Each structure stands twice: as C-alpha cells, then as structure tokens.
Amino acid sequence: MSINFYFEDIEEFQLDLPRSKQWIKNTISKEGRKPGDITFIFCDDDYLLDINKQYLDHDYYTDIITFDYVEGDQIAGDIFISIDRVKENAATFGVSFSNELNRILIHGVLHLLGYKDKDAEEKKLMTSKEDEYLLNY
C-alpha cells in the first residue's frame, strides 16, 4: 500500500505529505475500505488535456481525471490533477489554493470509492462527502 505524489511539467509546491497521506487513508477507512496503491500526478492544463483526448476522447480542459484500479475492498488508482484548474477554481470560488487542492484530492479518492458526479443527485452527494472529509483534514 502506498500513496505517492508526482509533479509533471510543473514546479513542485508545498504539500504536507504525511498529513495528506494519513487523511486519505482515514477517509478510505471511514468508507469501510482499504487503501492500496494510489498515485496523484499534478500537472498543467495541456498535460491533462492530452490525457483527456488520448484516453477519454474528450477535447476539453478538466481539473481531474481518475483511473480506477480498485479490486474488491482495496482502493487503487491514478489521479491526474491540473494545478492550473485548481488555481482558477480557487479564485472563482473565493477559497485558498490549499483548500481547493484538498477538495480535488478527496474528490478523486471519492471516485475510487465509487462515488459519481454525472447527474445533480450524484453531484450533491459527492459535494456533501467532500465537505464532510474536508472537515477532517
């Protein structure tokens, strides 16, 4: 079991790795699951756009793409996050960069836990879960 963070085509930024890893593990445990190998890749808009085009056949910017490798109760996956989108979202919603980054981190984990956000009801539940787990950071 490991949780790793990588930076692709962007400058590294401050992230409290031990605290973030423990928070993610706690979130997974509270959902009754076990953490497996989870990799977060921080990148820029263009990097994530290329992934969106190549793997999902979508030609638009997004803040996160999650590749799910979950097996049974063990949560695993690759989570790509556009830091450009995180910065823009933080400004749009009037929150700090670190708050928005944590929201996106846990959003990806929630996807691995099986939560969806395609329709209004799913989005409402997803946001509620994000809010709940942000209080535990």
- Whether 77 shows a pLDDT value over 90: the answer reads yes
What mean pLDDT do residues 20-30 have? 97
What mean pLDDT do residues 13-27 have? 94
- Asked if 8 and 41 touch (Cβ cutoff 8 Å), the reply is yes
List the one residue out of 65, 132, 72, 80 whose CA is nearest residue 103: 132
Q: What's the CATH code of the domain at 49?
A: 3.40.390.30
pLDDT for 116: 96
Q: What's the domain range around 116?
A: 2-134
Question: How does residue 111 score in pLDDT terms, banded at 50, 70 and 90?
Answer: very high
User: What is the total count of domains within the chain?
Assistant: 1
Question: How does residue 39 score in pLDDT terms, banded at 50, 70 and 90?
Answer: very high
pLDDT for 14: 86
List the one residue out of 39, 83, 92, 37 whose CA is nearest residue 64: 83
Q: Which two tokens stand for residue 67?
A: 């590749």
